[in-house]
Amino acid sequence: VLAWMALGYLQARRAAGLPCRILVNAFTLNAIGNLLDAIQSKSARYVPSPPDVVYLGSQPGSGLNPAIRHISFRQRDASAEAWETLESEHLIVGCSVWALNKLLNAGQPATTEGPTSPLFHLICIDEASQMVVSNGLMALAGLAPGGRVLVAGDDKQLPPVRTVHTQEIEGRLLGGSLYDFLKSAEVAEYP
């Protein structure tokens, strides 16, 4: 469903003559790779002039579809290649919050403001029940003004797989999962 929603958003912006760069993020590298794979295969089959699909950072343990371009920060000039890629008008990028942070810290001075940069028109976060709030906020560091955030998860499944210290402040749950935080803030939920 996330793959279809991301591609639908891209097509809607493209039809309106607008650029669309999408960030795909999740708690695990394998989840990021799986979502990118779904987006790439649907895009290749159903989208006229499919966008580039790129993975930044350490490759998931399950590997990547060969049609997904991989930019590893272990490569020489990887940051420059990533920034050049981000100049595309229509692009789908997958990476961990740590790879995004590394990219932003090695950023282009004209486009970054400290640890943030207005890069992505849509940020898709998967496995939000396993991701802690702080990591979810790190994923938003690349959100462009007027950008959208799409979060998927299931609070009936796995919570974060590390020690959490949930605190309730003004009715909002902090310190636990991103999903629980958004639910406590009464963000619209669509089962």
Residue with tokens 């990591």: 135
| Its pTM surpasses 0.85 | yes
- For the chain, the straight-line distance linking the first and the last C-alpha, in angstroms and rounded, comes to 11
What distance in Å separates the CA atoms of residue 65 and residue 84, rounded to the nearest whole number? 22
41, 49, 118, 78 alpha-carbon torsion, rounded to 10°:
70
What pLDDT digit, counting tens, does each position of 139-172 carry? 999 999 999 999 988 767 765 565 666 666 776 6
What pLDDT digit, counting tens, does each position of 105-147 carry? 876 656 667 788 899 999 999 988 888 888 888 999 999 999 9
What distance in Å separates the CA atoms of residue 2 and residue 116, rounded to the nearest whole number? 24
